[in-house]
Amino acid sequence: MDLTLPAADLDWQRRAKVFAETVLFPQEEELELKGALPRATKDAMRAAVVQHGLAGINHAVEVGGQGCTQMQQMLISEELGKATGALWAVVWHPAVALKHGTAEQIRTYLTPSCRGERRACVAVTEPEAGSDPRRVRTRADRKGDRWVINGEKWFVTSGDEADYIIVHANAGGDPDQPTLFLVDKATPGVRIAREPKFTHTYVFGHPEFVFEDVEVGDDRVLGGVGQGLELTKDWFVEARLQIAANCLGAAIRALELANDWATRRVQFGRSIRDFQSIEFMLADMAVEIMAAKSMVYRVAWEIDRGVDRKVVHAHASAIKLYASEMAGRVTDKAVQIFGGRGYMRENPVERLNRDVRVDRIWEGTSEIQRVIVGGQLRRRGPGLFTGWTALPG
């Protein structure tokens, strides 16, 4: 079994590393101290994404993307995840559900989104609906040849930056008919109710949207009436894979910084890494990262070789669960190794420690991931996780 990364994959990794270190890292402190970046800076960063060839890495070349394999996407996300303030989000990944659009939808929404000319956000969560999608109350009712959408959505990541919204609503109010609608943000009846503040600093916002008698035509139904949950599941899988890779990158940067500091910092006449309490923390961090990297790369390899969709769904939950909790443990240790300096916002490890906390919550909490893994254990047995996946054919 050859575990060597091909030259093409290494090239994508190098490209992402250069982008992160030359475009993203220089913006970290300004974003943290001011809470936002100027419009001109964000526009320049968007142009840099195109210049570095990172626009739409998760979609095919035929629709304007880069046609990256899953492994290449994970390598890119790992490098971008080293940036604080979620600056990795400036590199857009148009929702995977868009590839199921009609030719007109692909032309109007997906292709310009891949090119950076448009940006989507996904609206699923509601005040009473988080982990349980059947509690969604946003509804879309027929009115002649139109759909009328009413409801409220929370935590719509990048909703301030996006110009259209992929809205999860129940057709006719029926929870058995979840449907995705493409809604331009400028459509009458769409408004942002408020933009709450969160623990982390984030380059974009997570506004709450209200939809009041928002009308769209049948041409804005994505993937068919009643198909919303299946398409949302695919989006969750994609998001969980990206989160796992981002967490891996954040943990690696935290370890590198802590390892360097432990070597340079002298107390009681010697480097603090010479004290076993520090050395053991660094060792635990390294082992956890090695384990997470093995999981992330393995699942990417499986996807690129056409492993069954249900297996991918189960494994995506496993790596999202492990990588997000691993990153929390690693960044916490990094803060401890830096001592008081690790509690200063000017220190990347402090920012990383706050940044990764949300990764145990969004796109499915750690508890939901355990439910998914546990359910798969009941239905398919331990071999799904303890064995080695058989490839198709």
Token pair, residue 376, equals: 């798969």
HSE-CB at 156 with a 13 A cutoff on CA atoms is 31
Q: What is the rounded distance in angstroms from the CA atom of residue 189 to the CA atom of residue 214? A: 5
Give yes or no for a contact between 206 and 186, defined as CB atoms under 8 angstroms apart. Answer: no
CA 369 to chain centroid, in Å, comes to 15
Q: For residue 186, count CB atoms less than 10 angstroms from its CB and return exposed for 0-12, middle for 13-18, buried for 19 or more.
A: exposed
Q: Which residues pair with residue 214 across a beta bridge?
A: 149
Coil vs helix vs strand at 147: strand
The three-state DSSP-derived secondary structure of 286-314 is HHHHHHHHHHHHHHHHHHHCCCCHHHHHH
φ, ψ for residue 151, nearest 5 deg: 160, -175
Coil vs helix vs strand at 366: helix
Token pair, residue 343, equals: 């509690």
Q: What is the rounded distance in angstroms from the CA atom of residue 359 to the CA atom of residue 329? A: 12
Q: What is the rounded distance in angstroms from the CA atom of residue 80 to the CA atom of residue 271? A: 31
Token pair, residue 115, equals: 């090119």
Contacts of residue 129, Cβ cutoff 8 Å, sequence gap at least 6: 135, 136, 137
HSE-CB at 330 with a 13 A cutoff on CA atoms is 32
Give yes or no for a contact between 83 and 20, defined as CB atoms under 8 angstroms apart. Answer: yes
- Which active-site residues does the annotation give? 363
Token pair, residue 388, equals: 């080695």
